[in-house]
Amino acid sequence: MKYKFIQTLLLVLLPTLFAACGSDNNDPTDNIGGLTVSTDLKNNEVSAKGGRFFLQIKAEGKWTASSQDSWCTINNKEGNGNASTICSVSANDDDERYTVITVTSNGKSENVTITQKGGNGEEPDPDPNPSGYAGRIEIPKLKGGNSNLFITHTTQYNGKEVITYSFEYDCTQKSSRWVAFTFNTSTPDNNVGRAGDFSDDPSIPSQYRTHDGDYTGSGYSRGHLAASSDRQYSVAANKQTFYMSNMNPQIQNGFNGGIWASLEGKVQSWGKITNDQDTLYVAKGGTIDNNNIIKYLKTNNTIPVPKYFYMAILSLKNGQYKAIGFWFEHKSYSNNNYASYALSIDELEEKTGIDFFHNLPDKIENEVERSYNKSDWGL
């Protein structure tokens, strides 16, 4: 009886203990030998276009990783302990193909089979999710590295999976580099209200989480990146916007409660979509690298207060793309004239160092990012 109890307990706990910090839809390999390997891909499948995905490793000691084929490469081929490393897959214009990634640690090896869809001699599909969630159009190019985690939160709505938002989380800074999400017919404004309380993000390892109390007495608000009002289609999705990983410290008067909130309202009006073929793509965040922060909330140089905040917005309507960016110094503004801070995506990329909408076909990306027209957005 005792053995059965322990066995049952392990079956319950192991998925939680070894779940990757991304939104991984694959069961990890068996952990009997202290080695778990998984990816952030759905069913370990990559589209014909190729792209990047995270290989997530849980190991007790040193490990090495190798790929069977040259069309799938591994960024970091060795490490020590738990880590995530980026794998890159080249485009495929031929038949469906397979490769095996092998991770070895302490004499034990685990294999992960990656399937890439066939292009069948045609130009690869520009938006079929080429590298799991990271291949979606709204996702900026990942910084990657062992200290950055790519995570996607989802819920079930009307019987299907709907993405609440994705983000890249810097464990050393305990802060998100950006969040990204979409508005479409699957994300209607059902006016569910503020359904959540500020809470830790369970997808992040406990030692890297931020907490509600970290902001107490700081003089800064817990500023949503994906706003509560961005996710009004279900209570479950709205609650996820209250995870502390979705917060940046923000000045309340004149910024979080002023110009930033006004722009969020405008974006939400653009996001009221009734045509199944239309989508609004949003990436937004604050600057968290050392030369672009005001201060840290914590004495151990974590939870940076961004010096600037930004939004990158891409619209697909009636088969046509257009894009616009916004860049704000983090300060109290006397008015909410956010249109004065509009700029092109190319200009925004120069300021942030982030490659937005890079999963678009190059021709479309170049066209929509080089310029913008305020009148196209009703500004």
Does a structural domain hold residue 351? yes
- Residue range 268-302, pLDDT digits in tens: 999 999 998 899 999 999 999 888 999 999 988 89
CA 97 to chain centre: 27
Domain span at residue 19? Answer: 2-116
Does a structural domain hold residue 125? no
**pLDDT of res. 2:** 38
Does a structural domain hold residue 221? yes
Place of tokens 């997530």: 56
CB of 106 closer than 8 Å to CB of 60: yes
Q: Which spans in the chain are helix H?
A: 2-17, 235-240, 260-270, 345-352, 362-370
Looking up residue 73, the CATH number of its domain turns out to be: 2.60.40.10
Whole-angstrom Cα distance, residue 328 to residue 255? 9
Whole-angstrom Cα distance, residue 167 to residue 241? 12
Whole-angstrom Cα distance, residue 45 to residue 67? 15
- Residue range 201-255, pLDDT digits in tens: 998 988 999 999 999 999 999 999 999 999 999 999 999 999 999 999 999 999 9
Contacts of 365 (CB under 8 A, 6+ apart): 357, 358
Burial class (CB in 10 A: 0-12, 13-18, 19+), 113: exposed
Q: Which of 17-21, 41-45, 315-319 has the lowest mean pLDDT?
A: 17-21
On the question of pLDDT at 18 being above 60, the answer is no
Contacts of 322 (CB under 8 A, 6+ apart): 314, 315, 368, 372, 373, 376, 377
Does a structural domain hold residue 329? yes
3-class DSSP assignment, residue 258: helix
End-to-end CA distance of the chain: give it in Å, rounded. Answer: 69
On the question of pLDDT at 316 being above 80, the answer is yes
Whole-angstrom Cα distance, residue 61 to residue 231? 41
**pLDDT of res. 132:** 67
Shared domain check, 292 and 164? yes
Does a structural domain hold residue 141? yes
Beta partners for 102?
Answer: 66, 111
Q: Which of 55-64, 217-226, 321-330 has the lowest mean pLDDT?
A: 55-64
On the question of pLDDT at 8 being above 80, the answer is no
Shared domain check, 140 and 111? no
Shared domain check, 152 and 106? no
**pLDDT of res. 77:** 85
Looking up residue 346, the CATH number of its domain turns out to be: 3.40.570.10
Whole-angstrom Cα distance, residue 105 to residue 110? 9
Total number of domains constituting the chain:
2
On the question of pLDDT at 24 being above 80, the answer is no
Shared domain check, 58 and 160? no
Shared domain check, 145 and 249? yes
Shared domain check, 150 and 72? no
Q: Are strands 279-286 and 302-306 parallel, antiparallel or unpaired?
A: unpaired
Shared domain check, 288 and 154? yes
Average pLDDT over residues 103-132: 71
Whole-angstrom Cα distance, residue 356 to residue 364? 13
Confidence bin at 15 (pLDDT 50/70/90): very low
